[in-house]
Structure 1
Amino acid sequence: MTYQLRDLKDQVIVITGATAGMGAATAKELVEQGAKVVLNARSKTRLKAMVASLGEANATYVAGDCSEPEISRAVAKAALDKFGTIDAVVPNAGIGMYGSILDYSDEEVNRMMRTNYEGTVHIIRACLPTMIEKKAGDIVIVSSVAGFRGGGDESIYAGTKHAQVGLAGGLDRELREKGVRVALVCPAGTETEFAIGAGRTAGTPVLASFLRSEDIAFQITTILKQPRSVRTHIWTLWSINQQS
């Protein structure tokens, strides 16, 4: 018997951190699967370019910082105004820095927590009422393997990812009876602008051995395509060359 995966055609999916790396790859993969996407990131210029490449019939955007509740609410409203519903949300926006806990400024510490954790909370809160009303939906939080065991040079970042892991576990128990599934995608190092901006160097052998954004996009799409009778939760990914 052929296993029946869900068809994502016309599913409306909100993605934060959508203009680069894993977010951009996920948006592209989902549109190729027939979904409609609602994109959020800080750069309006890059968002407009993303929508143009994906097709205005398939995508819309709201520029701004999703850690601000009013921006997250505007993203959810844009989804409803353009496509009439919300079927899934992929909180993906994140920042990270490497170094000792004493290396960061107060603002850098606060910005990591706001972006990585509060941004996740607020976009979920904005999108969730529509999914609860339908008794169907998916939340796929993009976290990190650092959410289970942080490295010695990423303590603050790992703490924000642990917070996402805890949030996902609680939401899974809270929402499953309401028809909303909660999954957590936790990749190891991935070759993205994020990794380079956090202190890795483009073109180095270490970065070249990392996962690719498309690896994570495929996993997110696979989660969303599972039959509604199936609930998955934690997905961890490493490249074949990475050590856990």
Structure 2
Amino acid sequence: MQTTRDLTGSVVAITGATAGIGRETARLLVADGARVALGGRRTDRLDELVAELGAENAVGVPMDVRVPADNARLVAAAVDRWGRLDSVIPNAGIGMYGGILDQSDEDLTTMMDTNYAGTVWTVRAALPAMLAAGGGDVVIVSSVAGFRGGADEAVYAGTKHAQVGLAGSLDRELREKGVRVTLICPAGTFTEFAVGAGRTDDDPRASEWLTPGDVAAAIVTTLHQPRTMRTSIWTLWSMGQGS
């Protein structure tokens, strides 16, 4: 009879950890006995989260996922502190809503480099340590937009389509090496995501969206799976959202 996998002592790196899905995932993982290396751009928030979770359970690394060396520093922090890295959650992402002519070249470049290239750099940095530990999990936080882009989100949806392709290929590349690759694809989620770039803090639709805790629960559930199975794609919708 299969039982859920115990995460006690497991070491997990998370990008985009200072808010929303990343922060809630870190909280759930530590509650389940895991240790977390937290990457994010806002040092003050990293410090606050490490203080909340406890220095014995968490280490914070100020970083930008667009910079390969920063991703390497995140992995090194985990290995230096706990001697291993078991899983990585490339979660950092940004969104901007509007027509393809509405944003600046710089804004679009930032979105493409953060959402797609940032995922690639995080995975590349983490894999050597995970393979040295005998395998683990790559859990990429993407979006349902990766399967069905909508109007006024073409470039954002393109970055999510790219993550879908990346995850599918990585699954085929890494499964036999003991690394599971899961793509978590939530629908609209009430976070700071895209606030000021097509969303507002008081968006009237928010009551019908997923919460960061909903998505975090799905992420942690995939890590709890017995090592004999894997979930390749998990799409999430709230009960109030159409699919």
TM-score (norm 2): 0.98
The answer to whether the 8 A contact 2:17-2:23 is kept is yes
**SS of match in other structure, 1:138:** strand
Point out where structure 1 has 5 or more consecutive residues left out of the alignment: none
Letter in 1 for 2:154: S
Q: Summarize deviations over 1:49-90 as a string: whole Å, max 9, x none.
A: 110001000000110201100100100110110111000000
Point out where structure 2 has 5 or more consecutive residues left out of the alignment: none
Whole-angstrom CA distance in 2 between matches of 1:240 and 1:36 = 32
Whole-angstrom CA distance in 2 between matches of 1:134 and 1:179 = 10
Letter in 1 for 2:119: T
**SS of match in other structure, 1:204:** coil
Determine whether 1:90 maps to 2:89: yes
The answer to whether the 8 A contact 2:98-2:198 is kept is no
Whole-angstrom CA distance in 1 between matches of 2:145 and 2:168 = 16
TM-score (norm 1): 0.97
The equivalent residue for 1:203 is 202
The CA deviation at 1:198 is 3.4
Whole-angstrom CA distance in 1 between matches of 2:111 and 2:62 = 19
The correspondence of residues 143-222 of structure 1 with structure 2, limited to 5 A, is: 143-222=142-221
Letter in 2 for 1:102: L
Structure 1 stretch 25-34 or stretch 125-134: which is displaced more? Answer: 125-134
Q: Summarize deviations over 1:81-126 as a string: whole Å, max 9, x none.
A: 0111000000000000000000011001110011101111111101
The equivalent residue for 2:3 is 4
Determine whether 1:139 maps to 2:138: yes
The equivalent residue for 2:111 is 112
Whole-angstrom CA distance in 2 between matches of 1:188 and 1:119 = 21
Number of aligned positions between the proteins? 243
Whole-angstrom CA distance in 1 between matches of 2:70 and 2:93 = 16
The CA deviation at 1:134 is 2.8
Whole-angstrom CA distance in 1 between matches of 2:192 and 2:13 = 21
**SS of match in other structure, 1:184:** strand
Q: Summarize deviations over 1:35-59 as a string: whole Å, max 9, x none.
A: 0000001011110111000100000
